[in-house]
A = this chain, B = another copy of it.
Amino acid sequence: MKKIVFVGAGNVANSLAQAVAKLPDMQIVQVYSRSIEAAQLLASKIDCGICYVNSFADINPDADIYFFAIKDDVLPKVIRKVQTNSEALHLHTAGSHGLDIFGTDKPHCGVLYPFQTFTKTRTLDFNDIPLFVEAKSNEDKESIMQIAKMLSMQVFEFNAENRKYLHLAGVYANNFANAMFIEAQNILKHTDLPSSVLLPLIREMVNKLSVMPALQAQTGPAARHDTHIIERQVQLIDSDLQKQIYQLISDQIIQWTSQPT
């Protein structure tokens, strides 16, 4: 039975710890969070009772695996402060950090990056989440791959090139697409329509993504090169920033749909 310590009790830690807790031969023996309430709540979800702490000094130094699932900006500092043992395997879950943030006191280390957007209130099936794995040594990579493959059907090896571009693709596919939904919901405030009228359209757009490239699915005024409607719509927009965004994305769509594919 491997003894596991979870450092972090936020969105990622909540989903991941619940998935890890179900694996055979794994026992989460401790949850750390800066917030004792968050640590306690997560501990209760994974049936590890009173095993929660909120002080670095109280972290169990004798575990086999340490998961660091905390925000990217505080991750390097926290990893430095947590005392473990040099035999243990250390993993972080951040897409934006590599292996260099693990010091010489943590020679066995790696990354297990779940490519997903997490919310504490939503329980996701880890099986469907693409996991990206990186490690310093082949031996450690094998151990991490073994864990990853028990957690998910989609496990990939990470490298520096993948890391950069995967991150950027995620920003477009998730953060920027969501920003388009924010603006669509803002626009609907001009009417008395509920924002739920957008959902069937959005769901069908996403369904199409599984059966054809996004470029092939592109429709709308810009894809039809209908500059008349484009001009009329730009005039409807209140803010200068959004006018520019509307115009540039339309220019890009016109460019994409003019090229032979």
Give, as a whole number of angstroms, the nearest-CB distance from A159 to chain B.
Answer: 9
Q: Which B residues are in CB contact (< 8 Å) with A208?
A: 117, 119, 122
Q: Are B233 and A167 in contact (CB under 8 A)?
A: yes
Kindly list chain B residues whose C-beta atoms are within 8 Å of the C-beta of A192. Answer: 162
Of B116, B193, B201, B224, which contacts A174 at CB under 8 A? B201
Q: Is the CB of B221 within 8 A of A256?
A: no
* A168→B248 contact, CB < 8 A: no
Contact B221 A171 (CB under 8 A): yes
**Cα distance, A38 to B251, chains bound together (Å):** 32
Q: Does A146 contact B (CB under 8 A)?
A: no
| Docked-complex contact A191 and B175, CB < 8 angstroms | no
A180 at the binding interface (Cβ < 8 Å): yes
Q: Which of A137-180 contact B (CB under 8 A)?
A: 154, 156, 161-162, 164-180
Q: Which 8 A-B pairs have the closest CB atoms?
A: A175-B220, A173-B184, A181-B214, A172-B184, A169-B187, A182-B214, A177-B180, A169-B184
Interface of A with B (CB < 8 Å)?
Answer: 73, 96, 115-117, 119, 122, 124, 128-130, 154, 156, 161-162, 164-185, 187-188, 190-193, 195-211, 213-215, 217-224, 226, 229, 233, 236-237, 241-242, 244-246, 248-249, 251-253, 255-256
